[in-house]
Structure 1
Amino acid sequence: MTKRNNSIRIGMIGYQFMGKAHSHAYRDLPFYFDNPLTPELKVITGRNEDAVKVAKEKFGWEAYETDWRKVIERDDVDIVDIVTPNHTHAEIAIAAAEAGKHIITEKPLAMTVDEAKQMLSAVEKNGVKHMICHNYRFVPAVQFAKKLIDQGKIGRIFHYRANYLQDFIIDPNFPLVWRLKKEISGSGALGDIGAHSLDLARFLIGEFSEVTATMETFVKQRPIGEMTGGLSAKGDSSKMGEVTVDDAVAIIARFENGALGTFEATRFAGGNRNKNKFEINGEKGSIRWDMENMNNMEVYFADDNEGEQGFRLINCTEEVHPYAGAYWPAGHIIGYEHTFIHLIDEFLRGIAEDYQPAPNFEDGVRNQVLLEAIEKSTEERSWVKIK
């Protein structure tokens, strides 16, 4: 495939919540970053023709399709961006890889470990670049935390403590949408939001060695319904269906480096819209971060003078902080949407400079192994080792 004027041509499968986030990232990337490649928004895809036509106009795509296979067949598409429900990821990604397209997909990578491994095998066999959209890795404060850890600033790590708390389904009348059906989503809070916490832990401090967990479904039946954009939905209260995924999960973990981890993911934490947070405790200091205040990071260093010790607040918007120099003067904060710009920037650089960016399908496989181990632990009420 040939590209014009260092352009890279995108075909997106899906168009709702994540379709909006990814479309914005492609459009704004050249405004902030001098990437070697310039995205061209060629075609967006959705089964609802009226809705995808609206998305095409609103998000700035050249064309639309209602069959994802037609996107993969096009000669003017270099990247296939998958933002569809989880049960479709494997089929689309494998077909795209076999067609020689680079691939970025939403998380979790697949429905099972076997599916995830097939996807990884397909991209490796066909020599295409691949990423999985764990966008929280690309928050400047998170990247800065990684830098401090790698520099040994907090020393040997003892604890990783993470919570991902939402409340959008706490109302028992919230409809039975695809996110609450195991045959479509694979799991509930575990795969939807817990997967992000697990990925951040792997990124920041290393691989897991074993886990034990418990899960709960608080509301067993809900009105049949569908998503209407973002995390909103509509339903028919006269028709009820069974919830087949977890509403909440609690995890205890051990890491290969000896650290102990605790994780909680729930969509029943009233008042918490998107509280994705972690705290890391080491022998020389600690780090705290919370997505609801994403530009700030708290750090504590044990070697501060006596009487002056305690957590200090760092606003990660200075030019020395990752990505911050591409935006505004210090203190002029950025938002959630910019995490996707950073991720897309890394993906396109990997394509242009011929290296494999991360997080990628290998990270997706490792995360899928964790998700499966956590479900097994819940079923067996035991510790499960991570292979």
Structure 2
Amino acid sequence: MELRTGQDHLMSDQLRMGIVGAGIMGRGNALALSGERDVVVTAVTSRTRDAAQSLAAAQKTPARVAENLDDLLAADDVDAVVLTTPDHLHGDMMVRAAEAGKHILVEKPFTTSVEEADRAVAAIRSAGVVAMCLFNHRWVPAYAQAKELVADLGAAVVGYARKDDTIYVPTKMLSWADKTTCAWFLSSHDIDLMNWLIDDRVVRVYATARYGRLCDLGVDTPDAIQIQAEYSGGATATFESAWIYPETFPTMVDSYVTLACEQGVVQIDRQKENVVLATEKAYAYPRNLLQRVMHGIPAGAYRDAIRHFVDCCLTGAQPLITVESSRDVTAVLEAAHESIRTRQPMDVR
């Protein structure tokens, strides 16, 4: 089986992965990779050595700890990297990884500026490596089915997507919430989905933000953002994100998508995922579509998306999610944040 690494070709039946970042998403990626027989995690690096050592030791074949990103990228036993660092660090890391000839799986969002996105796309295409942003929602069965269904519903007219988190996420789960926003963190998923469902690009946005609760708690980021988007073909969509739901809400994420077309409408409500749990302490809807371990084996849309990336690396196929489409998501969000700042509609680059 032929594995392309930059300008070289390596005959291999196994993909050797390096993980950059040993936080929640680094551990999630490692768990998904652990069930793949043709993947081995060979190196881990993170901001703190203790976290990297813990994740490295937990692999089915213990991985080594790389001192930093440059050390990991220089390694001969790393074919591909998964970047699970905070949002604002993705761009430069992708450029460096591409220049080192490594395949790239990057957590969403692709980058937090169009300039960085364009640099990353150029470096990736120049190096000839496989790269994909982990917009794993495209592998949620309901969304994948919706993509097939809207093909028979005529032209898209109006869409709406919300992804709202409990306040636990910006105050306890993320140590870097003040360096991003709920739109970068949450709406990036929904913009990728809506662009895919409509099969079109956003050309103009108007966005508003509400500040208050989180700032009062010492986290300098908006409580909520709403984006009005206009597509080149005339469709419109609203993207809502917030992360101040009370922690008593039965799910950490409240997620809903609808798209009305000229000849029909599709709706996907993911608040409940077929399981209800009631205990003496809480009433909850456990999440199971993105990440789960079933009979000891990692499963779900998160694993399926990573499996797709692995297959592309091992065969040279292009991923379902192109880096150009992920760049377009960044462009929508950059324009939205500029609209918030200027209080004016903005064209999308």
TM band (smaller chain) = 0.7 to 0.9
In structure 1, the residue matched to 2:194 is: 201
Shift of 1:269: 2.7
The DSSP-based 3-state class of the residue aligned with 1:12 is strand
Q: 1:380 to 1:84 in 2, by over 3 A?
A: same
**2:339 is the counterpart of 1:385:** no
Instruction: Tell me whether 287-296 or 5-14 shows the greater mean CA deviation.
Output: 287-296
Residue in 1 aligned with 2:289? none
Go from structure 1 to structure 2 and tell me whether the alpha carbon gap of 1:219 and 1:9 turns closer, same or farther (over 3 Å shift): same
User: 1:137 deviation in Å?
Assistant: 1.2
3-state SS of the aligned residue for 1:263?
strand
Q: Distance in 2 between matches of 1:5 and 1:378?
A: 49
Contact residue 25 and residue 338 of structure 1 kept, 8 A: no
% identical aligned pairs:
26
Q: Which runs of 5+ in 1 are unaligned?
A: 31-37, 224-240, 297-326
Number of residue pairs matched by the alignment: 319
Q: Secondary structure at the match of 1:268?
A: strand
Letter in 1 for 2:21: G
Give the distance between the partners of 2:89 and 2:222, measured in 1 at CA: 20
* Residue 127 (str. 1) matches residue 134 (str. 2): no
Aligned AA for 1:195? S
1:26 equivalent in structure 2: 33
The answer to whether the 8 A contact 2:95-2:120 is kept is: yes
Given the alignment, which residue of 240, 247, 252 partners 1:273?
252
User: What is the CA–CA distance in structure 2 between the aligned matches of 1:57 and 1:111, rounded to whole Å?
Assistant: 32
Quickly say closer, same or farther: Cα 1:53–1:369, change in 2 above 3 A: same
| Kept in 2: contact 1:29–1:341 (CA 8 A) | no
Instruction: Quote the offset at 1:91 in angstroms.
Output: 2.4
Question: For structure 1, which segment, 187-196 or 44-53, has the greater mean C-alpha deviation from structure 2 after superposition?
Answer: 44-53
Please, which runs of 5 or more residues in structure 2 have no aligned partner?
Answer: 1-7, 276-292
Considering only CA atoms, is the larger Rg found in Structure 1 or Structure 2? 1
| CA deviation vs aligned residue, 1:131-181 (integer Å, no higher than 9, x gap) | 00111111111111111122x1x222222111111112499xx46954322
Matches within 5 A, 1:1-387: 6-30=13-37, 38-60=38-60, 61-150=62-151, 152=152, 154-169=153-168, 174=171, 178-182=175-179, 187-205=180-198, 206-219=200-213, 221=215, 241=218, 243-270=219-246, 271=249, 273-294=252-273, 338-387=300-349
What is the CA–CA distance in structure 2 between the aligned matches of 1:55 and 1:128, rounded to whole Å? 26
Amino acid of the residue matched to residue 142 of structure 2?
A
Give me the whole-angstrom Cα distance separating, in 2, the residues matched to 1:180 and 1:209: 28
Q: 1:162 is matched by which residue type in structure 2? A: A
The match for 1:238 is: none
Distance 2:71 2:106 in 1: 18
Where 1:123 maps in the other structure, the secondary structure is helix
Normalising to structure 1: TM-score of the pair?
0.75
Quote how far apart the aligned CAs of 1:210 are: 1.4
Q: Summarize deviations over 1:63-109 as a string: whole Å, max 9, x none.
A: 22231211101001000111011232222211111111111111112
| Displacement after TM superposition at 1:348 (Å) | 2.0
Residues 15, 314 of structure 2: 8 Å contact kept: no
Q: 1:294 to 1:202 in 2, by over 3 A?
A: farther
Per the alignment, in what secondary structure is the counterpart of residue 342 of structure 1?
helix
Letter of the aligned partner of 2:323 in structure 1?
Answer: F
Equivalent in the alignment of 2:4:
none
Task: State the TM-score, normalized to the length of structure 2.
Answer: 0.83
